[in-house]
Amino acid sequence: MDRPDRRIPRRRLLQGAATFSGVLVLPRRVLGGPGAEEPPPSDQIGGALIGCGGRGGGTFGNFGKAVRKLADCDVKFFGKADNKTVYSDFRRLLERKDIEVVAIATHPGWHALISIAAMEAGKDVLCEKPMTRFIAEGRAVVEAERRYRRIFQIGTFGRFKASQDKRNIQIHKIMASGRLKPCQAVHIKKGGLKVKEWSGVVNPKPHNVPQYLDWDLYCGSAPLRPYHPHRFGGTHRGYWDYEGGGMSDMGQHHFDPVQWTFAKDDTSPVEIEASAAPAHPEACGMWGWVELKYADGLTFVMTSEEWGPPYDRLKSRDVSPADLDEEGKKAVAAMPDPEPMSDFLTAVKTRNRAGGNAEAAHRCATLLHLANIAIRVGRKVRYDPVKERIVGDDEANRLVCPPMRAPWRL
Protein backbone atom coordinates (compact mmCIF):
# COMPACT_ATOMS: atom_id res chain seq x y z
CA MET A 1 0.00 0.00 0.00
CA ASP A 2 1.36 3.41 -0.95
CA ARG A 3 2.16 5.94 1.77
CA PRO A 4 2.77 9.62 1.01
CA ASP A 5 5.97 11.11 2.33
CA ARG A 6 4.49 14.56 2.84
CA ARG A 7 1.90 16.09 5.15
CA ILE A 8 -1.65 15.76 3.97
CA PRO A 9 -3.41 19.13 3.45
CA ARG A 10 -6.33 19.98 5.76
CA ARG A 11 -9.64 18.48 4.73
CA ARG A 12 -8.06 16.35 2.03
CA LEU A 13 -8.83 12.66 1.84
CA LEU A 14 -6.76 11.07 4.53
CA GLN A 15 -4.72 7.95 4.17
CA GLY A 16 -5.80 5.14 6.39
CA ALA A 17 -7.84 2.08 6.95
CA ALA A 18 -10.63 0.88 9.17
CA THR A 19 -10.56 -1.27 12.26
CA PHE A 20 -13.17 -3.14 14.10
CA SER A 21 -14.74 -2.86 17.54
CA GLY A 22 -17.99 -3.67 19.29
CA VAL A 23 -20.75 -1.36 18.08
CA LEU A 24 -24.31 -0.40 18.89
CA VAL A 25 -27.29 -2.03 17.23
CA LEU A 26 -29.90 0.64 16.51
CA PRO A 27 -33.64 0.01 16.31
CA ARG A 28 -34.87 0.06 12.74
CA ARG A 29 -37.40 2.77 13.63
CA VAL A 30 -34.53 5.10 14.46
CA LEU A 31 -32.63 4.68 11.22
CA GLY A 32 -35.67 4.46 8.99
CA GLY A 33 -37.08 0.94 9.04
CA PRO A 34 -37.31 -1.29 6.00
CA GLY A 35 -40.49 -1.88 4.09
CA ALA A 36 -42.34 -5.15 4.05
CA GLU A 37 -40.70 -6.18 0.79
CA GLU A 38 -37.30 -5.72 -0.78
CA PRO A 39 -37.39 -2.50 -2.84
CA PRO A 40 -36.02 -2.66 -6.38
CA PRO A 41 -32.32 -1.80 -6.76
CA SER A 42 -33.25 1.49 -8.43
CA ASP A 43 -34.93 2.59 -5.19
CA GLN A 44 -32.10 1.50 -2.90
CA ILE A 45 -29.22 3.60 -1.61
CA GLY A 46 -25.74 2.21 -2.15
CA GLY A 47 -23.88 1.78 1.13
CA ALA A 48 -20.66 0.44 2.62
CA LEU A 49 -19.41 -0.67 6.02
CA ILE A 50 -16.03 0.55 7.24
CA GLY A 51 -14.98 -1.59 10.20
CA CYS A 52 -16.31 -5.13 9.90
CA GLY A 53 -15.63 -6.82 13.24
CA GLY A 54 -17.75 -6.99 16.36
CA ARG A 55 -21.28 -5.96 15.52
CA GLY A 56 -20.38 -3.91 12.46
CA GLY A 57 -22.45 -6.11 10.19
CA GLY A 58 -25.42 -5.89 12.54
CA THR A 59 -25.14 -2.12 12.64
CA PHE A 60 -25.16 -1.88 8.86
CA GLY A 61 -28.10 -4.26 8.79
CA ASN A 62 -30.15 -1.77 10.74
CA PHE A 63 -30.19 0.51 7.72
CA GLY A 64 -32.85 -1.90 6.54
CA LYS A 65 -33.68 -2.79 2.97
CA ALA A 66 -33.47 0.81 1.84
CA VAL A 67 -29.66 0.51 1.77
CA ARG A 68 -27.87 -2.09 -0.32
CA LYS A 69 -24.38 -3.00 0.87
CA LEU A 70 -21.90 -2.70 -1.95
CA ALA A 71 -18.60 -3.09 -0.09
CA ASP A 72 -16.81 -3.84 3.18
CA CYS A 73 -13.57 -2.27 4.40
CA ASP A 74 -11.30 -3.30 7.27
CA VAL A 75 -7.58 -3.50 8.06
CA LYS A 76 -8.06 -7.17 8.84
CA PHE A 77 -8.23 -7.59 5.07
CA PHE A 78 -4.57 -6.53 4.87
CA GLY A 79 -2.81 -8.33 2.02
CA LYS A 80 -5.97 -8.80 0.00
CA ALA A 81 -6.25 -6.78 -3.17
CA ASP A 82 -8.91 -4.07 -3.13
CA ASN A 83 -11.82 -5.09 -5.35
CA LYS A 84 -15.44 -4.21 -5.85
CA THR A 85 -16.65 -5.81 -2.61
CA VAL A 86 -13.71 -5.92 -0.16
CA TYR A 87 -11.26 -3.13 0.63
CA SER A 88 -8.44 -2.64 3.10
CA ASP A 89 -7.94 1.03 2.21
CA PHE A 90 -10.98 3.20 2.85
CA ARG A 91 -9.75 5.83 0.37
CA ARG A 92 -10.29 3.42 -2.51
CA LEU A 93 -13.80 2.67 -1.29
CA LEU A 94 -14.66 6.36 -1.00
CA GLU A 95 -13.72 6.91 -4.66
CA ARG A 96 -16.79 4.95 -5.71
CA LYS A 97 -19.68 7.11 -6.93
CA ASP A 98 -22.26 4.38 -6.39
CA ILE A 99 -21.71 4.43 -2.60
CA GLU A 100 -23.88 7.15 -1.07
CA VAL A 101 -23.84 6.29 2.65
CA VAL A 102 -21.23 4.73 4.90
CA ALA A 103 -21.49 3.18 8.33
CA ILE A 104 -18.30 3.64 10.36
CA ALA A 105 -17.67 1.03 13.05
CA THR A 106 -13.92 1.36 13.58
CA HIS A 107 -12.23 2.14 16.87
CA PRO A 108 -12.87 5.82 17.80
CA GLY A 109 -9.33 6.85 16.89
CA TRP A 110 -10.49 6.62 13.27
CA HIS A 111 -14.00 8.06 13.59
CA ALA A 112 -13.19 11.70 12.86
CA LEU A 113 -10.67 11.17 10.08
CA ILE A 114 -12.82 8.72 8.15
CA SER A 115 -16.01 10.74 8.72
CA ILE A 116 -14.37 13.88 7.35
CA ALA A 117 -12.93 12.02 4.36
CA ALA A 118 -16.30 10.40 3.62
CA MET A 119 -18.19 13.69 3.76
CA GLU A 120 -15.59 15.35 1.53
CA ALA A 121 -16.13 12.50 -0.91
CA GLY A 122 -19.88 13.25 -0.96
CA LYS A 123 -21.06 10.46 1.35
CA ASP A 124 -23.53 10.68 4.22
CA VAL A 125 -22.25 9.15 7.45
CA LEU A 126 -23.62 7.08 10.29
CA CYS A 127 -20.78 6.86 12.82
CA GLU A 128 -20.56 4.69 15.90
CA LYS A 129 -20.22 6.13 19.39
CA PRO A 130 -18.21 7.68 20.90
CA MET A 131 -18.04 10.28 18.18
CA THR A 132 -14.32 11.04 18.56
CA ARG A 133 -11.12 10.28 20.47
CA PHE A 134 -10.53 13.87 21.61
CA ILE A 135 -12.35 17.21 21.63
CA ALA A 136 -10.72 18.99 18.69
CA GLU A 137 -11.66 16.13 16.37
CA GLY A 138 -15.33 16.76 17.08
CA ARG A 139 -15.17 20.38 16.00
CA ALA A 140 -13.44 19.30 12.78
CA VAL A 141 -16.30 16.87 12.04
CA VAL A 142 -18.88 19.62 12.69
CA GLU A 143 -17.08 21.90 10.24
CA ALA A 144 -16.97 19.13 7.64
CA GLU A 145 -20.70 18.43 8.01
CA ARG A 146 -21.45 22.11 7.34
CA ARG A 147 -18.84 22.63 4.62
CA TYR A 148 -19.82 19.62 2.52
CA ARG A 149 -23.54 19.77 3.38
CA ARG A 150 -23.68 16.11 4.25
CA ILE A 151 -25.83 14.15 6.69
CA PHE A 152 -24.02 12.96 9.80
CA GLN A 153 -25.47 11.05 12.72
CA ILE A 154 -23.84 9.40 15.69
CA GLY A 155 -24.91 5.84 16.51
CA THR A 156 -27.06 6.45 19.58
CA PHE A 157 -30.83 6.61 19.68
CA GLY A 158 -31.83 7.65 23.22
CA ARG A 159 -32.43 11.27 22.27
CA PHE A 160 -35.17 10.21 19.84
CA LYS A 161 -37.10 8.54 22.66
CA ALA A 162 -36.36 11.37 25.09
CA SER A 163 -37.72 13.96 22.66
CA GLN A 164 -41.08 12.19 22.58
CA ASP A 165 -41.57 12.18 26.38
CA LYS A 166 -43.87 14.96 27.66
CA ARG A 167 -41.88 15.47 30.85
CA ASN A 168 -38.60 15.74 28.95
CA ILE A 169 -40.15 18.17 26.47
CA GLN A 170 -41.24 20.37 29.38
CA ILE A 171 -37.74 20.35 30.90
CA HIS A 172 -36.25 21.06 27.47
CA LYS A 173 -38.47 24.11 27.00
CA ILE A 174 -37.76 25.45 30.49
CA MET A 175 -34.01 25.14 29.96
CA ALA A 176 -34.14 26.47 26.39
CA SER A 177 -36.04 29.55 27.59
CA GLY A 178 -32.98 30.74 29.50
CA ARG A 179 -35.21 31.92 32.35
CA LEU A 180 -33.92 29.46 34.95
CA LYS A 181 -30.84 31.15 36.42
CA PRO A 182 -29.18 29.90 38.42
CA CYS A 183 -30.25 26.35 37.61
CA GLN A 184 -30.13 24.06 40.63
CA ALA A 185 -30.77 20.84 38.69
CA VAL A 186 -28.47 17.86 39.21
CA HIS A 187 -28.60 14.73 37.06
CA ILE A 188 -26.73 11.73 38.49
CA LYS A 189 -25.93 8.62 36.44
CA LYS A 190 -25.07 5.73 38.72
CA GLY A 191 -22.98 2.88 37.31
CA GLY A 192 -23.32 1.24 33.93
CA LEU A 193 -20.04 2.67 32.62
CA LYS A 194 -17.93 -0.53 32.54
CA VAL A 195 -14.93 1.06 34.22
CA LYS A 196 -13.13 -2.10 35.34
CA GLU A 197 -14.14 -4.08 32.25
CA TRP A 198 -12.51 -1.55 29.94
CA SER A 199 -9.34 -0.85 31.91
CA GLY A 200 -6.09 -1.32 30.01
CA VAL A 201 -3.14 -3.63 30.65
CA VAL A 202 -0.14 -1.80 32.11
CA ASN A 203 3.26 -2.59 30.54
CA PRO A 204 1.99 -5.37 28.24
CA LYS A 205 4.56 -7.71 26.72
CA PRO A 206 4.94 -7.13 22.94
CA HIS A 207 3.55 -9.80 20.60
CA ASN A 208 4.08 -10.50 16.93
CA VAL A 209 1.62 -8.70 14.69
CA PRO A 210 -0.82 -11.12 12.97
CA GLN A 211 -0.13 -11.45 9.25
CA TYR A 212 -3.65 -10.38 8.34
CA LEU A 213 -3.40 -7.08 10.23
CA ASP A 214 -1.82 -3.78 9.22
CA TRP A 215 -0.88 -2.63 12.73
CA ASP A 216 0.49 0.71 11.55
CA LEU A 217 -2.85 1.64 10.02
CA TYR A 218 -4.75 0.26 12.98
CA CYS A 219 -2.91 2.75 15.21
CA GLY A 220 -3.59 5.55 12.73
CA SER A 221 -2.94 9.00 14.19
CA ALA A 222 -2.10 7.56 17.62
CA PRO A 223 1.46 6.58 18.63
CA LEU A 224 2.75 3.38 17.05
CA ARG A 225 2.98 1.13 20.11
CA PRO A 226 4.18 -2.49 20.14
CA TYR A 227 1.37 -4.86 19.23
CA HIS A 228 -0.51 -6.63 22.02
CA PRO A 229 -3.79 -8.55 21.58
CA HIS A 230 -5.47 -6.54 24.34
CA ARG A 231 -5.04 -3.37 22.30
CA PHE A 232 -6.96 -4.92 19.43
CA GLY A 233 -10.65 -5.74 19.05
CA GLY A 234 -13.14 -4.78 21.75
CA THR A 235 -10.53 -4.39 24.47
CA HIS A 236 -9.03 -1.43 22.57
CA ARG A 237 -11.39 0.62 24.77
CA GLY A 238 -8.91 0.33 27.64
CA TYR A 239 -6.30 2.60 26.00
CA TRP A 240 -6.19 6.38 25.59
CA ASP A 241 -4.67 5.90 22.13
CA TYR A 242 -7.92 4.54 20.71
CA GLU A 243 -10.80 5.41 23.05
CA GLY A 244 -11.27 6.37 26.72
CA GLY A 245 -12.30 3.38 28.81
CA GLY A 246 -15.87 2.66 29.86
CA MET A 247 -16.52 6.39 30.10
CA SER A 248 -16.18 6.77 26.33
CA ASP A 249 -17.71 3.41 25.48
CA MET A 250 -20.96 3.88 27.40
CA GLY A 251 -21.16 7.58 28.21
CA GLN A 252 -22.63 8.78 24.91
CA HIS A 253 -25.50 6.32 25.31
CA HIS A 254 -26.33 7.67 28.74
CA PHE A 255 -25.83 11.39 28.23
CA ASP A 256 -26.99 11.98 24.66
CA PRO A 257 -30.69 11.96 25.68
CA VAL A 258 -29.99 13.86 28.91
CA GLN A 259 -28.09 16.54 27.02
CA TRP A 260 -31.08 17.06 24.72
CA THR A 261 -33.55 17.09 27.62
CA PHE A 262 -31.61 19.86 29.38
CA ALA A 263 -31.13 21.82 26.10
CA LYS A 264 -27.32 21.68 26.10
CA ASP A 265 -26.72 20.66 22.49
CA ASP A 266 -24.87 23.91 21.79
CA THR A 267 -22.62 24.29 24.84
CA SER A 268 -20.41 22.41 27.30
CA PRO A 269 -19.62 22.34 31.05
CA VAL A 270 -17.32 25.00 32.49
CA GLU A 271 -16.05 23.19 35.62
CA ILE A 272 -15.11 19.53 35.81
CA GLU A 273 -13.94 17.67 38.90
CA ALA A 274 -13.20 13.95 39.37
CA SER A 275 -12.25 11.43 42.01
CA ALA A 276 -10.01 8.74 40.54
CA ALA A 277 -6.99 6.54 41.05
CA PRO A 278 -3.72 7.98 39.68
CA ALA A 279 -3.96 7.72 35.91
CA HIS A 280 -1.59 5.73 33.71
CA PRO A 281 -0.34 7.56 30.58
CA GLU A 282 -1.45 4.76 28.24
CA ALA A 283 -3.93 2.48 30.02
CA CYS A 284 -7.36 3.64 31.20
CA GLY A 285 -7.99 2.85 34.85
CA MET A 286 -10.38 3.18 37.79
CA TRP A 287 -12.33 6.23 38.91
CA GLY A 288 -15.14 6.93 41.34
CA TRP A 289 -17.08 9.99 40.22
CA VAL A 290 -17.03 13.03 37.95
CA GLU A 291 -18.99 16.30 38.30
CA LEU A 292 -19.55 18.48 35.21
CA LYS A 293 -21.05 21.90 35.93
CA TYR A 294 -22.47 24.25 33.29
CA ALA A 295 -22.33 28.04 33.42
CA ASP A 296 -26.00 28.26 34.47
CA GLY A 297 -25.46 25.90 37.42
CA LEU A 298 -26.81 22.66 35.91
CA THR A 299 -24.60 19.75 37.01
CA PHE A 300 -24.21 16.31 35.50
CA VAL A 301 -22.67 13.64 37.73
CA MET A 302 -21.26 10.26 36.68
CA THR A 303 -20.60 7.73 39.42
CA SER A 304 -18.86 4.48 38.53
CA GLU A 305 -20.00 2.48 41.58
CA GLU A 306 -16.78 0.52 41.01
CA TRP A 307 -14.07 2.45 42.88
CA GLY A 308 -13.73 4.58 45.99
CA PRO A 309 -16.30 5.56 48.67
CA PRO A 310 -19.96 6.13 47.71
CA TYR A 311 -20.70 9.49 46.12
CA ASP A 312 -22.41 11.87 48.59
CA ARG A 313 -21.62 15.41 47.40
CA LEU A 314 -24.79 16.35 45.52
CA LYS A 315 -28.34 15.00 45.38
CA SER A 316 -30.44 14.57 42.27
CA ARG A 317 -32.73 17.49 41.55
CA ASP A 318 -34.96 17.86 38.52
CA VAL A 319 -36.39 20.94 36.78
CA SER A 320 -40.05 21.94 37.04
CA PRO A 321 -42.26 24.96 36.24
CA ALA A 322 -42.27 25.71 39.97
CA ASP A 323 -38.68 26.91 39.58
CA LEU A 324 -39.89 29.80 37.36
CA ASP A 325 -41.50 33.08 38.28
CA GLU A 326 -44.94 33.86 36.84
CA GLU A 327 -43.54 35.68 33.83
CA GLY A 328 -41.25 32.75 33.12
CA LYS A 329 -44.10 30.27 33.37
CA LYS A 330 -46.12 32.24 30.83
CA ALA A 331 -43.17 32.51 28.47
CA VAL A 332 -42.48 28.77 28.59
CA ALA A 333 -46.16 27.93 28.14
CA ALA A 334 -46.18 30.03 24.98
CA MET A 335 -43.18 28.24 23.48
CA PRO A 336 -43.93 25.67 20.76
CA ASP A 337 -42.78 22.11 21.25
CA PRO A 338 -39.47 21.24 19.56
CA GLU A 339 -39.64 20.05 15.97
CA PRO A 340 -39.58 16.24 15.60
CA MET A 341 -36.13 14.85 14.92
CA SER A 342 -35.24 13.32 11.58
CA ASP A 343 -33.82 9.82 11.68
CA PHE A 344 -30.81 9.10 9.52
CA LEU A 345 -32.52 7.81 6.38
CA THR A 346 -35.21 10.48 6.52
CA ALA A 347 -32.46 13.09 6.76
CA VAL A 348 -30.69 11.52 3.78
CA LYS A 349 -33.86 11.79 1.72
CA THR A 350 -35.00 15.25 2.86
CA ARG A 351 -31.52 16.78 3.43
CA ASN A 352 -32.62 18.02 6.84
CA ARG A 353 -30.09 17.60 9.68
CA ALA A 354 -30.36 14.31 11.52
CA GLY A 355 -31.38 14.19 15.16
CA GLY A 356 -27.95 13.04 16.29
CA ASN A 357 -26.14 15.56 14.09
CA ALA A 358 -22.47 16.47 14.38
CA GLU A 359 -22.83 19.50 16.70
CA ALA A 360 -25.05 17.67 19.18
CA ALA A 361 -22.89 14.54 19.05
CA HIS A 362 -19.71 16.61 19.48
CA ARG A 363 -21.09 18.34 22.58
CA CYS A 364 -22.01 14.99 24.10
CA ALA A 365 -18.62 13.47 23.32
CA THR A 366 -17.03 16.57 24.87
CA LEU A 367 -18.70 15.66 28.18
CA LEU A 368 -16.85 12.34 28.15
CA HIS A 369 -13.54 13.83 27.05
CA LEU A 370 -13.69 16.51 29.76
CA ALA A 371 -14.46 13.88 32.37
CA ASN A 372 -11.48 11.82 31.23
CA ILE A 373 -9.22 14.88 31.19
CA ALA A 374 -10.08 15.62 34.83
CA ILE A 375 -9.43 11.96 35.67
CA ARG A 376 -6.07 11.97 33.88
CA VAL A 377 -4.67 15.18 35.37
CA GLY A 378 -6.11 14.50 38.84
CA ARG A 379 -7.52 17.98 39.52
CA LYS A 380 -10.43 20.28 38.78
CA VAL A 381 -10.32 21.82 35.32
CA ARG A 382 -12.13 24.82 33.86
CA TYR A 383 -13.33 24.87 30.28
CA ASP A 384 -14.33 27.59 27.84
CA PRO A 385 -17.23 26.13 25.78
CA VAL A 386 -16.94 28.84 23.12
CA LYS A 387 -13.20 28.64 22.48
CA GLU A 388 -13.27 24.93 23.39
CA ARG A 389 -10.12 25.11 25.47
CA ILE A 390 -9.14 24.28 29.04
CA VAL A 391 -8.52 27.51 30.93
CA GLY A 392 -5.27 28.08 32.84
CA ASP A 393 -3.92 24.52 32.70
CA ASP A 394 -1.50 23.79 29.85
CA GLU A 395 -1.13 20.11 30.72
CA ALA A 396 -4.89 19.53 30.63
CA ASN A 397 -5.31 21.65 27.51
CA ARG A 398 -2.86 19.46 25.59
CA LEU A 399 -5.39 16.65 25.95
CA VAL A 400 -8.01 18.72 24.11
CA CYS A 401 -5.96 18.38 20.92
CA PRO A 402 -3.06 15.94 21.41
CA PRO A 403 -0.44 15.57 18.69
CA MET A 404 -1.32 13.30 15.81
CA ARG A 405 1.25 10.94 14.34
CA ALA A 406 2.46 12.07 10.92
CA PRO A 407 1.18 12.16 8.27
CA TRP A 408 -2.26 12.34 9.91
CA ARG A 409 -3.81 15.72 10.68
CA LEU A 410 -7.18 17.36 10.97
Residue 122 is part of a domain; what is its CATH number? 3.40.50.720
| Residue 79 lies in domain | 28-158
Q: d(Cα 252, Cα 194) in Å, to the nearest integer?
A: 13
Q: pLDDT of the chain along its 410 residues, tens only?
A: 333 333 333 333 333 333 333 334 444 444 544 444 667 766 789 999 999 988 677 678 778 788 999 999 999 998 776 677 999 889 999 999 999 999 999 999 999 999 999 999 999 999 999 999 999 999 999 999 999 999 999 988 899 999 999 999 999 999 999 999 899 999 999 999 999 999 999 999 999 999 999 999 999 999 999 999 999 999 999 999 999 999 999 999 999 999 999 999 999 999 999 999 999 999 999 999 999 999 999 999 999 999 999 999 999 999 999 999 999 999 999 999 999 999 999 999 999 999 999 999 999 999 999 999 999 999 999 999 999 999 999 999 999 999 999 999 99
Q: d(Cα 329, Cα 355) in Å, to the nearest integer?
A: 27
Determine, yes or no, domain membership for 140. Answer: yes
Determine, yes or no, domain membership for 139. Answer: yes
CA-to-CA separations, 270 to 244, 261, 289, 299, in angstroms, rounded:
20, 19, 17, 10
Determine, yes or no, domain membership for 247. Answer: no
Determine, yes or no, domain membership for 8. Answer: no
Determine, yes or no, domain membership for 63. Answer: yes
Determine, yes or no, domain membership for 55. Answer: yes
- The residue count of the chain comes to 410
Determine, yes or no, domain membership for 10. Answer: no
Determine, yes or no, domain membership for 108. Answer: yes
Q: d(Cα 150, Cα 116) in Å, to the nearest integer?
A: 10
* Structural domain count of the chain: 1
CA dihedral 243, 249, 251, 257 (to 10 degrees): 120
